[in-house]
Amino acid sequence: MKPITLKLAGLQSYRESQTIDFTELCETGLFGIFGPTGSGKSTILDAITLALYGKVGRASGGTQGIMNHSEDTLFVAFTFELNSAAGTERYRVERRFKRQGELSVSNTISRFIEILPEGEKVVADKLADVTRCVEQKLGLKMDDFTRAVVLPQGKFAEFLSLKGADRRAMLQRLFHLEKYGDLLGQKLTRKVRANEQRRAEVAAEQQGLGNASAEALEEAAAAAREAAEQAAERRRELQQAQQRYDQLAKVRELAVERAERAAQLEALRAQGGEVAALEAKLARGGAAEALRPVLTAWKEAQRAAAERAQLAAEAEQAARAAAAAAAEA
Q: Over the stretch 167-208, which tens digit does the pLDDT of each residue have?
A: 676 666 655 566 666 677 788 888 889 898 888 888 887 777
CA distance 59 to 56: 5
Residue 119 included in any domain = yes
Residue 128 included in any domain = yes
pLDDT value at 156 more than 60: no
> pLDDT tens digits, residue range 107-122?
999 999 999 999 999 9
Other Cβ atoms less than 10 A from the Cβ of 12: the count is: 20
CA distance 192 to 204: 18
58 and 68 in contact (C-beta within 8 Å)? Answer: no
What range does the domain containing 33 cover?
A: 2-138
> Which pLDDT value is given to residue 182?
66
Residue 76 included in any domain = yes
Residue 114 included in any domain = yes
Pick from 190, 168, 188: nearest CA to 178: 168
In DSSP terms, which residues pair with 89 in a beta bridge?
82
Higher pLDDT, 136 or 269: 136
Q: Structural domain tally of the chain?
A: 1
Other Cβ atoms less than 10 A from the Cβ of 109: the count is: 13
CATH of residue 70's domain is 3.40.50.300
pLDDT value at 147 more than 80: no
> pLDDT tens digits, residue range 83-96?
877 889 999 999 99
Residue 270 included in any domain = no
pLDDT value at 288 more than 90: no
Residue 157 included in any domain = no
80 and 2 in contact (C-beta within 8 Å)? Answer: yes
Residue 74 included in any domain = yes
Residue 9 included in any domain = yes
Helix residue ranges per DSSP H, the chain: 22-25, 41-53, 127-138, 142-148, 156-160, 164-174, 182-209, 214-270, 272-328
List C-alpha distances in Å: 229 to 224, 226, 232, 238, 241. 9, 5, 5, 14, 18
> Which pLDDT value is given to residue 224?
87
**Stretch 151-157: mean pLDDT:** 58
CA distance 227 to 106: 86
Burial of 67 (0-12, 13-18, 19+ CB in 10 A): buried
Residues whose CB falls within 8 Å of the CB of residue 93, separated by 6 or more in sequence, listed in order: 51, 52, 77, 78, 111, 112, 113, 130, 134
